[in-house]
Structure 1
């Protein structure tokens, strides 16, 4: 039901990076339907009655349903997930180093060890103010091993 109390049919389906939106007016009472989705996207294909009026930060469609006799109109959009860059980072240690912050260090150190003073935890902060909708706590990290030192016993 829309804001006027009339019934409208709107169905969305996302498969991979494609979002398909289908709209119809089964009551035959509207001339246009405006749909706003909490997604940005790039139009891939659309019926002639569908116009994407905004693509970012939200996706807004206007559908001309006048004379459509309740027929369904569809549009497909390419959508992608956002890449957020860390706004701040640093790491902390436990034990006697617990009061020391390592926010200016060139690397982040993570270590789970036995014994106090050897554990380290990395922290990252992201600015999500531009993200509309729900932020999903899924992250992919690219790790680069910059330095590896091993003290192995030498056998002579």
Structure 2
């Protein structure tokens, strides 16, 4: 019985080492793991920020992944300094809020700042939904208009 317990403990220990080694190599912070749900009308600001901050404090290179799908994203600032190389991979489409009031007094929609060794990649889209802002201002007629952070020139 004692020998069986020793063997079982050894197998468990080896499995634990294997799992821990894989966990150390896999530094992908998928926003869906943190609670983001694609194609729903819920804002992912908090989960994106949690995933980014977890990647930013890692001592090893890390990635924040936004998988395929549509995600609503309000005004967000992602900032370092980060402890190691960081990649943000956007495969999905990030949609700005359609409520222009949410951007009152704000100069930008998505801000990355104070981050060394930063890469932004993927095939996704940052969709500011500018057509909504175009319809409620006169920027197409005057250069003295108040531009929204989601207004594309």
Length-normalised TM-score, structure 1: 0.24
- The structure with the greater share of residues assigned to helix is 2
Larger strand fraction of residues: 1
Structure number, greater radius of gyration: 1
